[in-house]
Structure 1
Amino acid sequence: CEDMIVSALCQESCVSILSWAADGGSQYVAHRAQSFLESEFSQIASTHCLFDISLDSLIRCAQSQFIQATEVELLEAVIRWGEHELLRRMEEREPNVVADTSHSISRR
């Protein structure tokens, strides 16, 4: 069963499979998904999937000697991820009263 999940790894499924496996699904699958993320980081970071990567996985990628991305690509991805995370957190704290108005953080 684990081998079937690992064989289904692709750029679109990698992050969700890694999230499932890291949350107690399977250490083997988590390791393989993290390795896949590192080997395809440059391509994955250029898609919306970047914003679904957990902080722990992003840190592991940044610390990895095997990541397939330049330092500049990694830095740009971390900055984009951080900006997205900041906006997400600000939107969570924003009162619902102004959520859909011109004063909304998400409208800026």
Structure 2
Amino acid sequence: MRAWITSMGRRTSLERAAHLMCELYLRGRNIGLTLEASLEMPLSQLLLSDALGMTPVHLNRVLKKLRQSGVMTLSRNSLRIADPARLVQIAGFDENYLHRRLRPAA
């Protein structure tokens, strides 16, 4: 909760969107939804804009910037991260706040 309060208050809209994509991808990867640079994510821009406290139009502009910079693309049902290091840098993402336990490799 603290991480999201900080995110809403201190991050730019670009940083907030990048941070959410990092978190969703990491959570999906950790539960075995993907091992690749893409993740099926059937979330609409309307849902994402509500979660990020933006209008859908503004979120669309932010996603366009991320896409044009070659960092990631969000299509209708999937997130593809082209440059994970850059996305993490934009987001200021530190996964330690998730307090996750790593599953042993099978």
Q: TM-score, normalised by structure 2?
A: 0.31
Give the number of the structure whose residues are more often strand, by fraction. 2
Give the number of the structure whose residues are more often helix, by fraction. 1
Structure index of larger Rg: 1
